Amino acid sequence: MNMEISWQYQGANWQKLKTFLKQKGLSRRLLATIRNDNGQILVNGKSGRIVDKVVPGDYVTIVLPYEVNRKTPLAKSYVPIDIIYEDRDFLLVNKTAHVATIPSILHPNDSLVNRVAGYYELRGYKGLIPHVATRLDRDTSGLVLFAKHRLAHALLDQQLRQHTIDKRYYALLTGNLTLNQLTVNQPIARKSDSVMKREVRDDGKSALTEYFVADRLQNATGCQIKLHTGRTHQIRVHSEYIGHPLVGDNLYGGKIAMPLQRQALHCYKLTFYHPFLERNVTFTSPLPADISRYIEKNR
């Protein structure tokens, strides 16, 4: 389906249309893609050119074209998803543990992306494809943000590059942290002998993680964590580096401790700037049952 997104120009003087669209986050490349895929740029309901001018009170409308997956066909899964928030532009889902975010060779048909694609079909959302903005490891639970069209995705991508999307995690670290707050600023790189595992290494990419102690348990510490960068396995690697691997994270030195059968990591809070509502929005997800039970068992 075609989707229309409109703004009213409220400047004091005339402005070039291309300048107005750039201020709304539409790059030259995205505008070209919209036009090449039979989308439209309208000014007061009539086709406009980016060299045209807009004057105060004009309405500018972008007609986004029908989208199709340009790569291999995406299998649809009809397993229900836990929706935290949905509007015209974004979908926020609470992912359970043991579900991959995106399809892979090991999980080609029932990742969270497959489930969102199935949800779109059941709701009759023709012409929408899942655009993943934030990802979680397969065994990490919590909030995952999707953009529902390419403009929303492009605007979120800008926030990701500028590190302005605020993701907060709750993690159970083995042992007892002596400090109530800890900052780890250590670069991370892929281990040379592993496809999956990462490590702290001088030639890696910069990575900054903040820990805030929330719960002191028997042989474990519950922490609220803020990521300032988004490296693969960042929390898991930094926790191992400080000598307190995540409970249940056997890839990085943690041990399985019932009722947990995965790394004790949950994305519980997400804040981002909603470019169409023009304000920051914040969403939360409660701790899942396995982490809550572990806390109660080990208080």
Type of residue numbered 99 = V
Backbone angles phi, psi at 271, to 5 degrees: -125, 130
Q: Is the dihedral of CA 33, 36, 42, 45 positive or negative?
A: negative
From the number of C-beta atoms within 10 Å of its C-beta (0-12, 13-18, 19+), residue 113 rates as: buried
From the number of C-beta atoms within 10 Å of its C-beta (0-12, 13-18, 19+), residue 299 rates as: exposed
Let me know if 52 is a catalytic residue. Answer: no
Q: Is the dihedral of CA 182, 184, 190, 191 positive or negative?
A: negative
Type of residue numbered 193 = D
Let me know: does 291 contact 264? Beta carbons within 8 Å: yes
Residues 184, 208: Cα–Cα separation, whole Å? 6
Of the candidates 137, 139, 249, 290, the residue annotated as catalytic is: 137
* Residues annotated catalytic, as ranges: 137
